[in-house]
Amino acid sequence: MSSSDHFLPTFDFVEYHSRKIHASPEKAYAALQTIDFHDSLFIRFLFFIRGLRSATFDEARQNFCLLVENPPKELHLELPNLG
């Protein structure tokens, strides 16, 4: 049972995605804190169409609702409905 089950205890379907990262959870979590979204044209475009104009992870994070943070194991953010 993940901590996100607290927010969505019942659901209609399940979908899993995974990516192998060759780093410790601590290193991966630290790297997440230093992301600069200006490096990715695709991410900038996605933020633009959602009305978000954020450059760094900390700035972008302010646009999301923090559901769960358990460094360095998990981080669950939700983008509120802007429209």
Which three-class secondary structure string do you get for 13-64? CCCCCCCCCCCCHHHHHHHHCCCEHHHCHHHHHHHHHCCCCCCEHHHHHCCC
State pTM to two decimals: 0.59
Residue 17's φ and ψ, nearest 5 degrees, are -135, 145
Question: What are the tens digits of pLDDT across the range 51-60?
Answer: 777 667 677 7
Question: What are the tens digits of pLDDT across the range 13-49?
Answer: 878 788 898 999 999 989 888 887 778 888 778 878 8
